[in-house]
A and B are shown apart, each in its own frame.
Chain A
Protein backbone atom coordinates (compact mmCIF):
# COMPACT_ATOMS: atom_id res chain seq x y z
CA UNK A 1 0.00 0.00 0.00
CA UNK A 2 1.51 3.36 -0.99
CA UNK A 3 2.10 5.88 1.74
CA UNK A 4 -0.56 8.49 2.35
CA UNK A 5 -3.75 6.48 2.81
CA UNK A 6 -4.99 3.21 4.27
CA UNK A 7 -6.85 0.36 2.54
CA UNK A 8 -9.98 1.29 4.51
CA UNK A 9 -9.71 4.88 3.28
CA UNK A 10 -9.44 3.98 -0.39
CA UNK A 11 -12.36 1.57 0.03
CA UNK A 12 -14.59 4.25 1.55
CA UNK A 13 -13.51 6.96 -0.91
CA UNK A 14 -13.99 4.64 -3.93
CA UNK A 15 -17.46 3.71 -2.71
CA UNK A 16 -18.38 7.35 -2.07
CA UNK A 17 -17.38 8.27 -5.63
CA UNK A 18 -19.98 5.83 -6.98
CA UNK A 19 -22.91 7.71 -5.44
CA UNK A 20 -24.32 10.17 -7.97
CA UNK A 21 -25.21 13.69 -6.88
CA UNK A 22 -28.98 13.86 -6.54
CA UNK A 23 -29.38 10.11 -6.12
CA UNK A 24 -32.03 8.92 -3.69
CA UNK A 25 -30.00 6.51 -1.58
CA UNK A 26 -31.24 3.90 0.92
CA UNK A 27 -28.35 3.62 3.35
CA UNK A 28 -27.29 0.64 5.44
CA UNK A 29 -25.52 1.24 8.75
CA UNK A 30 -21.75 0.88 9.00
CA UNK A 31 -19.51 1.21 5.96
CA UNK A 32 -22.37 2.20 3.59
CA UNK A 33 -23.36 5.03 5.91
CA UNK A 34 -19.77 6.28 6.07
CA UNK A 35 -19.40 6.23 2.28
CA UNK A 36 -22.80 7.82 1.61
CA UNK A 37 -22.15 10.66 4.05
CA UNK A 38 -18.68 11.20 2.62
CA UNK A 39 -20.23 11.48 -0.85
CA UNK A 40 -22.72 14.02 0.49
CA UNK A 41 -19.86 16.13 1.88
CA UNK A 42 -17.88 15.92 -1.37
CA UNK A 43 -19.45 15.74 -4.83
CA UNK A 44 -23.03 14.77 -3.93
CA UNK A 45 -24.51 17.50 -1.71
CA UNK A 46 -27.94 16.84 -3.21
CA UNK A 47 -27.95 13.09 -2.56
CA UNK A 48 -30.95 12.18 -0.41
CA UNK A 49 -30.08 9.73 2.34
CA UNK A 50 -32.89 7.48 3.54
CA UNK A 51 -32.41 5.32 6.64
CA UNK A 52 -34.73 2.38 7.31
CA UNK A 53 -35.65 3.70 10.76
CA UNK A 54 -37.60 6.51 9.08
CA UNK A 55 -35.46 9.61 8.36
CA UNK A 56 -35.62 10.87 4.77
CA UNK A 57 -32.98 13.39 3.66
CA UNK A 58 -30.80 12.95 6.74
CA UNK A 59 -27.68 15.15 6.97
CA UNK A 60 -25.98 14.02 10.18
CA UNK A 61 -22.98 16.14 11.25
CA UNK A 62 -21.27 13.01 12.58
CA UNK A 63 -21.80 9.38 11.58
CA UNK A 64 -24.64 7.63 13.38
CA UNK A 65 -23.70 4.73 15.65
CA UNK A 66 -27.00 3.02 15.06
CA UNK A 67 -29.58 3.04 12.31
CA UNK A 68 -31.96 5.12 14.42
CA UNK A 69 -29.75 7.79 15.99
CA UNK A 70 -31.43 11.02 17.03
CA UNK A 71 -29.09 13.02 14.78
CA UNK A 72 -30.69 11.35 11.75
CA UNK A 73 -34.17 12.44 12.82
CA UNK A 74 -33.04 15.96 13.74
CA UNK A 75 -31.38 16.65 10.38
CA UNK A 76 -33.89 14.92 8.09
CA UNK A 77 -36.41 16.61 5.80
CA UNK A 78 -39.04 14.36 7.33
CA UNK A 79 -39.23 11.31 9.58
CA UNK A 80 -41.82 8.68 8.69
CA UNK A 81 -42.72 5.39 10.35
CA UNK A 82 -40.80 2.24 9.48
CA UNK A 83 -43.75 0.64 7.61
CA UNK A 84 -44.03 3.79 5.52
CA UNK A 85 -40.32 3.73 4.66
CA UNK A 86 -40.57 0.20 3.33
CA UNK A 87 -44.01 0.42 1.73
CA UNK A 88 -44.20 3.85 0.13
CA UNK A 89 -40.59 4.85 -0.34
CA UNK A 90 -38.66 1.64 -1.05
CA UNK A 91 -41.33 -0.66 -2.52
CA UNK A 92 -42.95 2.43 -4.05
CA UNK A 93 -39.96 2.63 -6.38
CA UNK A 94 -38.51 5.93 -5.18
CA UNK A 95 -35.01 4.67 -4.32
CA UNK A 96 -32.24 4.97 -6.94
CA UNK A 97 -29.38 3.37 -5.04
CA UNK A 98 -29.39 0.80 -2.27
CA UNK A 99 -26.11 0.93 -0.38
CA UNK A 100 -25.44 -2.37 1.40
CA UNK A 101 -22.78 -4.08 3.46
CA UNK A 102 -22.43 -7.86 3.66
CA UNK A 103 -21.11 -10.56 5.95
CA UNK A 104 -20.57 -12.89 2.98
CA UNK A 105 -21.12 -12.76 -0.75
CA UNK A 106 -20.59 -15.11 -3.65
CA UNK A 107 -19.41 -14.64 -7.24
CA UNK A 108 -22.86 -13.52 -8.35
CA UNK A 109 -23.08 -10.88 -5.59
CA UNK A 110 -25.72 -12.76 -3.66
CA UNK A 111 -25.45 -11.68 -0.01
CA UNK A 112 -25.65 -13.63 3.26
CA UNK A 113 -26.20 -11.92 6.61
CA UNK A 114 -28.24 -14.75 8.14
CA UNK A 115 -26.27 -17.85 9.19
CA UNK A 116 -23.02 -19.69 8.60
CA UNK A 117 -23.59 -23.42 8.55
CA UNK A 118 -26.88 -25.30 8.55
CA UNK A 119 -29.86 -22.96 8.91
CA UNK A 120 -31.47 -25.06 11.61
CA UNK A 121 -28.22 -25.80 13.48
CA UNK A 122 -26.00 -22.85 12.63
CA UNK A 123 -22.29 -22.62 13.38
CA UNK A 124 -22.64 -18.86 13.55
CA UNK A 125 -25.90 -17.02 13.95
CA UNK A 126 -25.55 -13.64 12.16
CA UNK A 127 -27.90 -10.68 12.85
CA UNK A 128 -30.28 -11.48 10.01
CA UNK A 129 -31.85 -9.75 7.07
CA UNK A 130 -32.77 -6.27 8.21
CA UNK A 131 -33.83 -4.33 5.14
CA UNK A 132 -31.48 -6.06 2.68
CA UNK A 133 -33.81 -8.52 0.85
CA UNK A 134 -36.16 -5.79 -0.29
CA UNK A 135 -33.49 -3.12 -0.81
CA UNK A 136 -31.81 -5.60 -3.16
CA UNK A 137 -35.06 -6.05 -5.08
CA UNK A 138 -36.64 -2.60 -5.12
CA UNK A 139 -33.72 -0.16 -5.37
CA UNK A 140 -33.02 0.66 -9.02
CA UNK A 141 -29.39 -0.33 -8.46
CA UNK A 142 -27.26 -1.57 -5.58
CA UNK A 143 -23.76 -0.76 -4.36
CA UNK A 144 -22.05 -3.17 -1.97
CA UNK A 145 -19.14 -2.20 0.25
CA UNK A 146 -17.35 -5.01 2.10
CA UNK A 147 -13.87 -5.94 3.28
CA UNK A 148 -12.46 -8.69 1.11
CA UNK A 149 -11.20 -11.97 2.56
CA UNK A 150 -11.73 -15.70 2.17
CA UNK A 151 -14.28 -15.45 4.99
CA UNK A 152 -16.37 -12.83 3.21
CA UNK A 153 -15.86 -13.81 -0.46
CA UNK A 154 -16.99 -17.42 -0.50
CA UNK A 155 -17.55 -20.09 -3.15
CA UNK A 156 -21.00 -20.99 -1.82
CA UNK A 157 -23.36 -19.19 0.54
CA UNK A 158 -25.12 -21.14 3.28
CA UNK A 159 -28.12 -18.80 2.96
CA UNK A 160 -29.06 -16.15 0.40
CA UNK A 161 -30.41 -13.23 2.41
CA UNK A 162 -30.49 -10.77 -0.46
CA UNK A 163 -30.48 -11.68 -4.13
CA UNK A 164 -27.70 -10.52 -6.39
CA UNK A 165 -27.61 -12.24 -9.78
CA UNK A 166 -28.63 -15.64 -8.32
CA UNK A 167 -27.06 -18.26 -10.60
CA UNK A 168 -25.83 -15.69 -13.11
CA UNK A 169 -26.80 -14.82 -16.66
CA UNK A 170 -30.41 -13.64 -16.78
CA UNK A 171 -31.46 -15.56 -13.64
CA UNK A 172 -32.28 -12.35 -11.80
CA UNK A 173 -34.57 -11.07 -14.56
CA UNK A 174 -36.19 -14.49 -14.91
CA UNK A 175 -36.99 -14.46 -11.19
CA UNK A 176 -38.98 -11.30 -11.84
CA UNK A 177 -36.79 -8.92 -9.87
CA UNK A 178 -37.29 -5.33 -10.97
CA UNK A 179 -34.13 -3.53 -9.82
CA UNK A 180 -30.91 -3.90 -11.79
CA UNK A 181 -29.05 -5.35 -8.81
CA UNK A 182 -25.47 -4.79 -7.73
CA UNK A 183 -23.56 -2.57 -10.17
CA UNK A 184 -20.34 -2.62 -8.14
CA UNK A 185 -18.75 -4.24 -5.11
CA UNK A 186 -16.15 -2.01 -3.49
CA UNK A 187 -13.59 -3.64 -1.21
CA UNK A 188 -10.36 -2.70 0.53
CA UNK A 189 -8.44 -4.35 -2.33
CA UNK A 190 -10.33 -3.57 -5.51
CA UNK A 191 -13.58 -2.79 -7.27
CA UNK A 192 -15.55 -5.65 -8.84
CA UNK A 193 -18.34 -5.30 -11.39
CA UNK A 194 -20.67 -7.93 -12.82
CA UNK A 195 -19.64 -9.30 -16.23
CA UNK A 196 -22.08 -8.14 -18.89
CA UNK A 197 -22.99 -11.69 -19.95
CA UNK A 198 -22.36 -14.05 -17.09
CA UNK A 199 -23.02 -11.46 -14.33
CA UNK A 200 -20.07 -12.93 -12.41
CA UNK A 201 -18.22 -10.38 -10.28
CA UNK A 202 -15.05 -9.46 -12.14
CA UNK A 203 -12.23 -7.25 -10.90
CA UNK A 204 -12.42 -4.00 -12.87
CA UNK A 205 -10.06 -1.81 -10.86
CA UNK A 206 -7.24 -2.68 -8.46
CA UNK A 207 -6.31 -0.31 -5.66
CA UNK A 208 -2.75 1.12 -5.91
CA UNK A 209 -0.14 -1.17 -4.37
CA UNK A 210 -2.40 -4.25 -4.37
CA UNK A 211 -1.36 -7.26 -6.48
CA UNK A 212 -3.56 -9.68 -8.41
CA UNK A 213 -2.09 -12.41 -6.21
CA UNK A 214 -3.39 -10.66 -3.06
CA UNK A 215 -6.85 -10.43 -4.58
CA UNK A 216 -6.80 -14.13 -5.55
CA UNK A 217 -5.60 -15.05 -2.06
CA UNK A 218 -8.55 -13.19 -0.53
CA UNK A 219 -11.29 -14.56 -2.80
CA UNK A 220 -12.99 -17.89 -2.21
CA UNK A 221 -13.52 -18.58 -5.92
CA UNK A 222 -11.26 -18.37 -8.94
CA UNK A 223 -11.67 -14.68 -9.47
CA UNK A 224 -11.49 -13.19 -12.96
CA UNK A 225 -10.08 -9.83 -14.00
CA UNK A 226 -11.74 -7.80 -16.73
CA UNK A 227 -9.77 -7.20 -19.96
CA UNK A 228 -9.63 -3.48 -19.26
CA UNK A 229 -8.87 -3.85 -15.54
CA UNK A 230 -7.07 -0.72 -14.40
CA UNK A 231 -5.79 0.92 -11.25
CA UNK A 232 -8.08 2.77 -8.86
CA UNK A 233 -7.41 6.48 -8.68
CA UNK A 234 -5.87 7.10 -5.26
CA UNK A 235 -7.86 9.26 -2.83
CA UNK A 236 -7.30 12.94 -3.46
CA UNK A 237 -6.30 15.43 -0.80
CA UNK A 238 -9.80 16.80 -0.34
CA UNK A 239 -11.36 13.32 -0.23
CA UNK A 240 -8.92 12.17 2.46
CA UNK A 241 -9.17 15.34 4.50
CA UNK A 242 -12.98 15.23 4.43
CA UNK A 243 -13.10 11.54 5.41
CA UNK A 244 -10.60 11.97 8.24
CA UNK A 245 -12.39 15.03 9.52
CA UNK A 246 -15.72 13.16 9.47
CA UNK A 247 -14.27 10.21 11.38
CA UNK A 248 -12.50 12.48 13.88
CA UNK A 249 -15.70 14.44 14.53
CA UNK A 250 -17.56 11.15 14.92
CA UNK A 251 -15.02 9.77 17.41
CA UNK A 252 -15.18 13.01 19.39
CA UNK A 253 -18.97 13.01 19.48
CA UNK A 254 -19.37 9.36 20.44
CA UNK A 255 -16.37 9.17 22.78
CA UNK A 256 -14.58 5.85 22.99
CA UNK A 257 -17.37 4.16 21.04
CA UNK A 258 -16.79 6.29 17.96
CA UNK A 259 -15.63 3.46 15.76
CA UNK A 260 -16.39 3.97 12.09
CA UNK A 261 -20.10 3.28 12.05
Chain B
Protein backbone atom coordinates (compact mmCIF):
# COMPACT_ATOMS: atom_id res chain seq x y z
CA UNK B 1 0.00 0.00 0.00
CA UNK B 2 1.37 3.38 -1.02
CA UNK B 3 2.86 5.52 1.70
CA UNK B 4 3.25 9.21 1.06
CA UNK B 5 6.79 10.06 2.11
CA UNK B 6 9.72 12.29 1.29
CA UNK B 7 11.92 11.12 -1.55
CA UNK B 8 14.94 10.74 0.73
CA UNK B 9 12.94 8.47 3.07
CA UNK B 10 11.64 6.43 0.13
CA UNK B 11 15.10 5.87 -1.35
CA UNK B 12 16.53 5.04 2.09
CA UNK B 13 13.76 2.51 2.73
CA UNK B 14 13.56 0.81 -0.65
CA UNK B 15 16.86 1.10 -2.54
CA UNK B 16 19.76 -0.86 -1.06
CA UNK B 17 23.34 -1.41 -2.18
CA UNK B 18 23.50 -4.16 -4.79
CA UNK B 19 19.81 -3.94 -5.72
CA UNK B 20 18.48 -4.44 -9.24
CA UNK B 21 16.87 -1.07 -9.94
CA UNK B 22 14.70 0.08 -12.85
CA UNK B 23 14.34 3.83 -13.36
CA UNK B 24 12.13 4.14 -16.42
CA UNK B 25 10.88 6.90 -18.68
CA UNK B 26 10.96 7.05 -22.47
CA UNK B 27 12.22 10.62 -23.01
CA UNK B 28 9.17 11.73 -21.01
CA UNK B 29 8.72 11.62 -17.18
CA UNK B 30 12.30 10.53 -16.48
CA UNK B 31 12.81 10.20 -12.70
CA UNK B 32 15.77 12.60 -12.39
CA UNK B 33 15.04 13.61 -8.80
CA UNK B 34 15.07 9.97 -7.66
CA UNK B 35 18.33 9.31 -9.50
CA UNK B 36 19.92 12.29 -7.76
CA UNK B 37 18.76 11.03 -4.38
CA UNK B 38 20.33 7.63 -5.09
CA UNK B 39 23.61 9.47 -5.82
CA UNK B 40 23.27 11.65 -2.69
CA UNK B 41 22.73 8.62 -0.48
CA UNK B 42 25.84 7.00 -1.96
CA UNK B 43 24.32 3.72 -3.17
CA UNK B 44 26.90 1.32 -4.59
CA UNK B 45 26.93 -1.82 -6.69
CA UNK B 46 23.50 -1.27 -8.24
CA UNK B 47 22.43 -3.26 -11.27
CA UNK B 48 20.51 -0.68 -13.25
CA UNK B 49 18.02 -1.33 -16.01
CA UNK B 50 16.49 1.15 -18.41
CA UNK B 51 15.46 0.94 -22.06
CA UNK B 52 16.90 4.35 -22.88
CA UNK B 53 19.52 5.30 -20.27
CA UNK B 54 20.35 8.96 -20.76
CA UNK B 55 21.63 11.79 -18.57
CA UNK B 56 20.43 10.50 -15.20
CA UNK B 57 22.09 7.13 -15.82
CA UNK B 58 25.23 8.89 -17.04
CA UNK B 59 25.22 10.74 -13.70
CA UNK B 60 24.64 7.62 -11.59
CA UNK B 61 27.33 5.69 -13.50
CA UNK B 62 29.82 8.57 -13.24
CA UNK B 63 29.03 8.91 -9.52
CA UNK B 64 30.00 5.28 -9.01
CA UNK B 65 26.56 3.90 -8.08
CA UNK B 66 26.39 1.20 -10.76
CA UNK B 67 28.06 -2.17 -11.27
CA UNK B 68 25.88 -3.22 -14.20
CA UNK B 69 23.57 -1.69 -16.78
CA UNK B 70 20.91 -3.53 -18.76
CA UNK B 71 19.75 -1.34 -21.64
CA UNK B 72 18.69 -1.13 -25.26
CA UNK B 73 19.78 2.38 -26.31
CA UNK B 74 22.22 4.52 -24.35
CA UNK B 75 22.77 8.06 -25.56
CA UNK B 76 22.07 11.75 -25.17
CA UNK B 77 19.04 12.03 -27.50
CA UNK B 78 19.63 14.42 -30.37
CA UNK B 79 23.08 15.32 -28.99
CA UNK B 80 25.42 12.31 -29.01
CA UNK B 81 27.24 9.96 -26.67
CA UNK B 82 26.97 9.51 -22.93
CA UNK B 83 30.54 10.26 -21.93
CA UNK B 84 30.41 8.85 -18.39
CA UNK B 85 28.78 5.63 -19.65
CA UNK B 86 31.41 5.30 -22.35
CA UNK B 87 34.25 6.02 -19.89
CA UNK B 88 32.94 3.24 -17.63
CA UNK B 89 32.58 0.73 -20.48
CA UNK B 90 35.74 1.65 -22.38
CA UNK B 91 38.06 2.49 -19.43
CA UNK B 92 36.41 1.13 -16.28
CA UNK B 93 36.07 4.61 -14.69
CA UNK B 94 35.07 5.19 -11.91
CA UNK B 95 34.34 1.46 -11.74
CA UNK B 96 33.98 -1.28 -14.32
CA UNK B 97 30.45 -1.48 -15.68
CA UNK B 98 29.08 -4.82 -16.84
CA UNK B 99 26.52 -4.47 -19.58
CA UNK B 100 23.59 -6.58 -20.64
CA UNK B 101 22.55 -5.33 -24.00
CA UNK B 102 19.10 -5.84 -25.49
CA UNK B 103 16.94 -4.37 -28.25
CA UNK B 104 13.96 -2.13 -27.44
CA UNK B 105 11.56 -4.84 -28.52
CA UNK B 106 13.30 -7.39 -26.31
CA UNK B 107 13.46 -5.20 -23.23
CA UNK B 108 9.84 -4.08 -23.62
CA UNK B 109 8.81 -7.73 -23.94
CA UNK B 110 11.02 -8.68 -20.99
CA UNK B 111 9.27 -6.14 -18.73
CA UNK B 112 5.91 -7.49 -19.90
CA UNK B 113 7.09 -11.02 -19.05
CA UNK B 114 8.27 -9.80 -15.64
CA UNK B 115 4.92 -8.15 -14.95
CA UNK B 116 3.18 -11.35 -16.10
CA UNK B 117 5.26 -13.43 -13.66
CA UNK B 118 6.92 -15.40 -16.47
CA UNK B 119 10.60 -16.42 -16.52
CA UNK B 120 11.31 -15.32 -20.07
CA UNK B 121 10.09 -13.27 -22.98
CA UNK B 122 9.55 -14.61 -26.46
CA UNK B 123 9.70 -12.49 -29.58
CA UNK B 124 10.41 -12.57 -33.26
CA UNK B 125 13.68 -10.79 -32.88
CA UNK B 126 17.43 -10.54 -33.40
CA UNK B 127 17.44 -12.84 -36.44
CA UNK B 128 20.71 -12.55 -38.35
CA UNK B 129 22.28 -10.18 -35.81
CA UNK B 130 25.41 -10.68 -33.69
CA UNK B 131 23.38 -10.71 -30.47
CA UNK B 132 22.82 -14.43 -30.19
CA UNK B 133 26.45 -15.38 -30.64
CA UNK B 134 27.80 -12.45 -28.56
CA UNK B 135 25.26 -11.94 -25.77
CA UNK B 136 24.55 -15.01 -23.58
CA UNK B 137 21.13 -13.71 -22.50
CA UNK B 138 19.82 -13.82 -26.08
CA UNK B 139 18.86 -17.39 -26.91
CA UNK B 140 16.20 -19.08 -28.99
CA UNK B 141 13.28 -21.40 -28.53
CA UNK B 142 11.30 -23.51 -30.98
CA UNK B 143 7.56 -22.96 -31.06
CA UNK B 144 5.95 -26.28 -30.00
CA UNK B 145 3.04 -25.69 -32.39
CA UNK B 146 4.61 -24.38 -35.60
CA UNK B 147 8.30 -25.21 -35.25
CA UNK B 148 9.25 -21.57 -35.78
CA UNK B 149 12.47 -20.52 -34.06
CA UNK B 150 11.93 -17.46 -31.88
CA UNK B 151 14.16 -15.35 -29.66
CA UNK B 152 13.93 -15.95 -25.91
CA UNK B 153 15.38 -13.63 -23.30
CA UNK B 154 15.14 -13.57 -19.50
CA UNK B 155 12.33 -11.46 -18.07
CA UNK B 156 13.14 -8.31 -16.11
CA UNK B 157 12.23 -8.60 -12.40
CA UNK B 158 13.73 -5.60 -10.61
CA UNK B 159 14.02 -5.38 -6.84
CA UNK B 160 12.68 -1.87 -7.16
CA UNK B 161 11.13 0.20 -9.95
CA UNK B 162 11.15 4.00 -9.84
CA UNK B 163 8.98 6.13 -12.13
CA UNK B 164 7.73 9.71 -12.28
CA UNK B 165 4.09 10.59 -13.00
CA UNK B 166 1.84 13.61 -13.21
CA UNK B 167 -0.57 13.07 -10.32
CA UNK B 168 -1.46 10.95 -7.34
CA UNK B 169 -4.40 11.16 -4.97
CA UNK B 170 -4.28 10.93 -1.18
CA UNK B 171 -4.46 7.11 -1.32
CA UNK B 172 -1.45 7.02 -3.61
CA UNK B 173 -3.31 6.03 -6.78
CA UNK B 174 -1.10 7.31 -9.59
CA UNK B 175 -2.12 8.73 -12.97
CA UNK B 176 0.21 9.22 -15.91
CA UNK B 177 -0.45 10.19 -19.50
CA UNK B 178 1.31 11.16 -22.73
CA UNK B 179 4.20 8.96 -23.76
CA UNK B 180 3.95 6.03 -21.35
CA UNK B 181 7.02 3.99 -22.22
CA UNK B 182 7.26 0.86 -20.06
CA UNK B 183 6.54 2.49 -16.71
CA UNK B 184 3.45 0.46 -15.85
CA UNK B 185 5.19 -2.80 -16.77
CA UNK B 186 8.30 -1.84 -14.79
CA UNK B 187 6.26 -1.18 -11.64
CA UNK B 188 4.28 -4.41 -12.00
CA UNK B 189 7.45 -6.43 -12.69
CA UNK B 190 9.26 -5.14 -9.60
CA UNK B 191 9.14 -6.32 -6.00
CA UNK B 192 8.95 -2.73 -4.70
CA UNK B 193 8.17 0.58 -6.34
CA UNK B 194 8.60 4.30 -5.78
CA UNK B 195 6.63 6.91 -7.72
CA UNK B 196 7.47 10.61 -7.69
CA UNK B 197 4.68 12.94 -8.83
CA UNK B 198 4.19 16.53 -9.91
CA UNK B 199 1.02 17.03 -7.95
CA UNK B 200 -1.00 15.60 -5.08
CA UNK B 201 -4.73 15.91 -5.82
CA UNK B 202 -8.02 15.08 -4.10
CA UNK B 203 -9.31 13.06 -7.02
CA UNK B 204 -7.63 11.80 -10.20
CA UNK B 205 -10.78 12.46 -12.26
CA UNK B 206 -9.51 10.12 -14.95
CA UNK B 207 -11.44 8.34 -17.71
CA UNK B 208 -11.98 4.59 -17.35
CA UNK B 209 -9.09 3.46 -19.55
CA UNK B 210 -6.52 5.91 -18.25
CA UNK B 211 -3.10 4.59 -17.23
CA UNK B 212 -3.46 4.30 -13.48
CA UNK B 213 -1.24 2.51 -10.99
CA UNK B 214 -3.50 1.66 -8.05
CA UNK B 215 -1.98 2.74 -4.76
CA UNK B 216 -1.84 -0.84 -3.53
CA UNK B 217 0.82 -1.80 -6.14
CA UNK B 218 3.03 1.14 -5.17
CA UNK B 219 5.17 1.29 -2.02
CA UNK B 220 6.10 4.95 -1.79
CA UNK B 221 4.64 8.06 -3.40
CA UNK B 222 6.64 11.28 -3.16
CA UNK B 223 5.63 14.79 -4.13
CA UNK B 224 8.52 16.18 -6.20
CA UNK B 225 7.45 19.06 -8.46
CA UNK B 226 9.61 19.25 -11.61
CA UNK B 227 11.07 15.90 -10.54
CA UNK B 228 11.49 14.83 -14.16
CA UNK B 229 13.44 17.94 -15.21
CA UNK B 230 15.38 18.40 -17.49
CA UNK B 231 13.08 15.90 -19.25
CA UNK B 232 9.46 16.93 -19.47
CA UNK B 233 6.13 16.22 -17.82
CA UNK B 234 3.27 16.43 -20.30
CA UNK B 235 0.88 19.17 -19.21
CA UNK B 236 3.35 20.62 -16.70
CA UNK B 237 6.65 21.68 -18.27
CA UNK B 238 8.70 21.27 -21.43
CA UNK B 239 11.97 19.48 -21.99
CA UNK B 240 15.00 21.64 -21.21
CA UNK B 241 16.76 20.95 -24.49
CA UNK B 242 19.55 23.42 -23.66
CA UNK B 243 20.54 21.36 -20.62
CA UNK B 244 20.85 18.18 -22.71
CA UNK B 245 23.19 20.10 -24.99
CA UNK B 246 25.18 21.52 -22.04
CA UNK B 247 25.53 18.04 -20.54
CA UNK B 248 27.77 17.08 -23.44
CA UNK B 249 30.41 19.58 -22.29
CA UNK B 250 29.89 19.03 -18.54
CA UNK B 251 30.25 15.26 -18.81
CA UNK B 252 33.05 15.06 -21.37
CA UNK B 253 35.88 15.23 -18.82
CA UNK B 254 36.04 13.47 -15.45
CA UNK B 255 37.01 16.64 -13.58
CA UNK B 256 34.27 18.87 -15.00
CA UNK B 257 31.75 16.10 -14.30
CA UNK B 258 32.95 15.68 -10.70
CA UNK B 259 32.81 19.42 -10.05
CA UNK B 260 29.28 19.61 -11.48
CA UNK B 261 28.10 16.60 -9.48
CA UNK B 262 29.51 17.95 -6.22
CA UNK B 263 28.02 21.41 -6.60
CA UNK B 264 24.62 20.34 -7.96
CA UNK B 265 23.88 16.97 -6.38
CA UNK B 266 26.24 16.00 -3.55
CA UNK B 267 26.23 19.46 -1.94
CA UNK B 268 22.49 20.08 -2.32
CA UNK B 269 19.97 18.84 0.23
CA UNK B 270 17.26 17.82 -2.21
CA UNK B 271 15.92 18.29 -5.72
CA UNK B 272 14.33 21.65 -4.91
CA UNK B 273 17.73 23.02 -3.89
CA UNK B 274 19.31 21.45 -6.99
CA UNK B 275 16.79 23.31 -9.16
CA UNK B 276 17.61 26.58 -7.36
CA UNK B 277 21.36 26.11 -7.87
CA UNK B 278 20.79 25.21 -11.51
CA UNK B 279 18.54 28.23 -12.08
CA UNK B 280 21.16 30.50 -10.48
CA UNK B 281 23.81 29.10 -12.80
CA UNK B 282 21.65 29.54 -15.88
CA UNK B 283 20.92 33.19 -15.07
CA UNK B 284 24.64 33.83 -14.44
CA UNK B 285 25.42 32.35 -17.83
CA UNK B 286 22.71 34.44 -19.44
CA UNK B 287 24.26 37.61 -17.94
CA UNK B 288 27.66 36.66 -19.30
Contacts and interface: CB of A to CB of B under 8 A. Distances in A.
Contacts of A131: 103-105
Contacts of A163: 127-129
B72 A83 contact: no
A123 B91 CA distance: 10
Interface string B224-256: 000000001010001101101100000000000
A209 interface: no
A137 interface: yes
A90 B232 CA distance: 26
Contacts of A83: 108-109, 111-112, 182, 185
Contacts of B148: 176
Judged by DSSP, the binding face of A is loop
Interface residues of B, number: 55
B27 to A, nearest CB: 3
Given A114-B130, A137-B124, A261-B78, A128 B71 contact: yes
B127 A65 contact: no
A172 B128 contact: yes
A70 B178 contact: yes
Contacts of B234: 70, 73
Contacts of A162: 129
Contacts of B124: 91, 134, 137-138, 178
Interface string B12-28: 00000000000000111
Contacts of A254: 241
Contacts of B85: 125
Nearest to A260: B78
Interface in B85-105: 85-86, 89-90, 101-105
Contact of B128 (A119, A124, A175, A257): A175
A41 interface: no
A55 B262 CA distance: 38
A160 B127 CA distance: 10
A128 B72 contact: yes
A130 B73 contact: yes
B101 A114 contact: yes
Interface of B: 26-28, 51-52, 71-75, 77-79, 81, 85-86, 89-90, 101-105, 108-109, 111-112, 123-131, 134, 148-149, 178-182, 184-185, 211, 232, 234, 238-239, 241-242, 244-245
